[in-house]
């Protein structure tokens, strides 16, 4: 059995050994060169970056100088707090955030003072001037138009501050596409004007539908001779086309030829209702029961709203021929949908 003196001797040896071990490690660490912060960024720092220690220390120092809160420990380790500070700096100074500082990019230039931050453009809430071909193209208006167009087409990266306030060829193409598909313009001009129809449709002031209330319940003013003339032209167009699913093309050709100028245009049949209603000197709107359109006067133009039957997306448009027949891009029994919604227009003059 060990005596007390033996135990004391063993304990002393353990203590001396520990002291020698710690002294050795201290000496070794003093001989190692500490990692110093870079003076210039050599690689990316942040989420998914190369995150070398010297670059990370540099970024941490600069973030602290730019008011990082909480203040970062400058340890060369790119952890969650450093990444969060980078993201906050970018949102505040750059206008977007990808949580990554890269050499020679905007975030780095702004962080190290080589570039002054620009004022972030905020979209207008109301269009103040024209945007597009030949427009004033004010930055806040361009951003507003792009924001609204994105609701239809998802074309623009609104977070890209270098492009989101500028009009490019893609902007013009998108405006023209909108004007064709949503406004109904055959020859779009690629410009959104304050107070114009394209603007009203874009911001929701105007809806091109065939659902507006009917104006009158009688056929007074109906010109039977013009009705017969329009029906004859419609029959001729339908016989020459003999297609399907092109009802609006056939009706446009017949009506525009009858009037002698293009009053109907656009991509979808339902657009015809608003365009006809805009010509009160040429056509008069009358009430029409969806189940009784086959008894309407010859030459009456009937526009069906999108819904059931063959008019689910684009609606349907037709010219009554009498005898329960209709003409559009072909001749058929008149479309008669009791559950549908329609508007009817009789010819009263050729202007």
Burial class (CB in 10 A: 0-12, 13-18, 19+), 264: buried
How many CB atoms sit inside 10 A of residue 316's CB? Answer: 29
Q: Residue 211: inside a domain, yes or no?
A: no
If asked whether residues 235 and 299 sit together in one domain, one would say yes
pLDDT of residue 150: 86
Integer Cα distance of 104 and 329 in angstroms: 61
Q: Residue 126: inside a domain, yes or no?
A: no
If asked whether residues 83 and 159 sit together in one domain, one would say no
Average confidence (pLDDT) per 10 residues, the chain, 351 residues: 63 62 50 59 92 93 92 93 91 77 88 66 72 90 89 82 85 89 77 88 65 49 94 96 93 96 91 93 89 88 78 86 91 80 92 78
If asked whether residues 333 and 244 sit together in one domain, one would say yes
- The structure tokens 């919604």 sit at 341
If asked whether residues 193 and 294 sit together in one domain, one would say no
If asked whether residues 9 and 52 sit together in one domain, one would say no
If asked whether residues 80 and 107 sit together in one domain, one would say yes
Q: Is 266 left (phi over 0), alpha (psi -120 to 50) or beta?
A: left
DSSP β-bridge partners for residue 285:
345
Q: Residue 38: inside a domain, yes or no?
A: no
Q: Residue 120: inside a domain, yes or no?
A: no
If asked whether residues 164 and 279 sit together in one domain, one would say no
Q: Residue 331: inside a domain, yes or no?
A: yes
Apex 346 CA angle, 344 and 351, nearest 5: 130
pLDDT of residue 178: 87
- The structure tokens 């419609």 sit at 234
The model's pTM: 0.42
> Could you tell me the residue range of the domain that residue 194 belongs to?
131-202
Average predicted confidence (pLDDT) for the chain = 82
The CA-based dihedral angle spanning residues 55, 56, 58, 61, taken in that order and rounded to the nearest 10 degrees: 180
If asked whether residues 107 and 136 sit together in one domain, one would say no
SS (H, E, C) the chain: CCCHHHHHHHHHHHHHHHHHHHHHHHHHHHHCCCCCCCCCCCCCEECCCCCCHHHHHHHHHHHHHCCCCCCCCCCCCCCHHHHHHHHHHHHHHHCCCCCEECCCCHHHHHHCCCCCCCCCCCCCCCCCCCEECCCCCCHHHHHHHHHHHHHHHCCCCCCCCCCCCCCCHHHHHHHHHHHHHHHCCCCCCCEECCCCHHHHHHCCCCCCCCCCCCCCCCCCCCCHHHHHHHHHHHHHHHHHHCCCCCHHHHHHHHHHHHHCCCCCCCCCCCHHHHHHHCCCCCEEEECCCHHHHHHCCCCCEEEECCCCHHHCCCCEEEEEEECCEEECCCEEECCCCCCCCEEEEEECCCC
pLDDT of residue 31: 47
pLDDT of residue 280: 93
Integer Cα distance of 181 and 168 in angstroms: 20
- The structure tokens 């449709």 sit at 201
- Asked if residues 246 and 237 have their Cβ atoms less than 8 Å apart, the reply is no
**Start-to-end C-alpha separation, the chain:** 129
If asked whether residues 24 and 49 sit together in one domain, one would say no
- Asked if residues 99 and 83 have their Cβ atoms less than 8 Å apart, the reply is yes
Polymer length of the chain: 351
Q: Residue 215: inside a domain, yes or no?
A: no
Q: Residue 194: inside a domain, yes or no?
A: yes
If asked whether residues 265 and 320 sit together in one domain, one would say yes
Q: Residue 117: inside a domain, yes or no?
A: no
If asked whether residues 77 and 16 sit together in one domain, one would say no
pLDDT of residue 220: 83
How many structural domains are present in the chain? 4
How many CB atoms sit inside 10 A of residue 115's CB? Answer: 14
If asked whether residues 190 and 273 sit together in one domain, one would say no
């Amino acid at each position: 059995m060990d005596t007390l003196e033996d135990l004391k001797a063993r304990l002393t040896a353990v203590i001396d050994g520990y002291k020698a071990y710690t002294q050795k490690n201290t000496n070794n660490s003093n001989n190692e060169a500490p990692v110093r912060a870079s003076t210039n960024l050599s690689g990316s720092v942040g989420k998914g970056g190369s995150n070398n220690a010297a670059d990370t220390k540099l970024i941490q120092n600069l973030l602290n100088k730019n008011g990082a809160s909480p203040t970062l420990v400058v340890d060369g380790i790119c952890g969650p707090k450093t990444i969060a500070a980078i993201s906050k700096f970018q949102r505040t100074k750059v206008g977007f955030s990808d949580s990554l500082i890269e050499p020679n990019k905007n975030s780095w230039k702004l962080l190290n003072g080589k570039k002054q931050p620009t004022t972030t453009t905020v979209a207008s809430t109301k269009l103040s001037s024209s945007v597009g071909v030949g427009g004033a193209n004010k930055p806040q208006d361009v951003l507003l138009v792009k924001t609204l167009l994105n609701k239809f087409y998802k074309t623009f990266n609104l977070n890209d501050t270098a492009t989101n306030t500028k009009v490019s060829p893609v902007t013009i193409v998108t405006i023209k596409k909108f004007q064709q598909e949503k406004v109904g313009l055959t020859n779009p001009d690629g410009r959104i004007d304050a107070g114009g129809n394209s603007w009203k449709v874009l911001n929701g002031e105007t809806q091109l539908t065939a659902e507006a209330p009917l104006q009158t319940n009688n056929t007074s003013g109906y010109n039977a001779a013009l009705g017969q003339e329009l029906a004859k032209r419609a029959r001729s167009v339908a016989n020459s086309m003999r297609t399907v699913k092109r009802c609006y093309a056939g009706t446009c050709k017949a009506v525009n030829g009858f009037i002698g100028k293009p009053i109907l245009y656009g991509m979808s049949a339902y657009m015809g209702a608003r365009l006809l209603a805009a010509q009160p000197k040429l056509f008069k709107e009358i009430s029409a029961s969806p189940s009784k359109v086959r008894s309407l006067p010859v030459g009456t133009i009937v526009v069906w709203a999108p819904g059931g039957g063959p008019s689910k997306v684009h609606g349907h448009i037709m010219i009554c021929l009498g005898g329960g027949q209709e003409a559009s891009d072909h001749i058929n029994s008149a479309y008669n949908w009791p559950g549908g919604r329609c508007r009817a227009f009789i010819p009263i003059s050729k202007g």
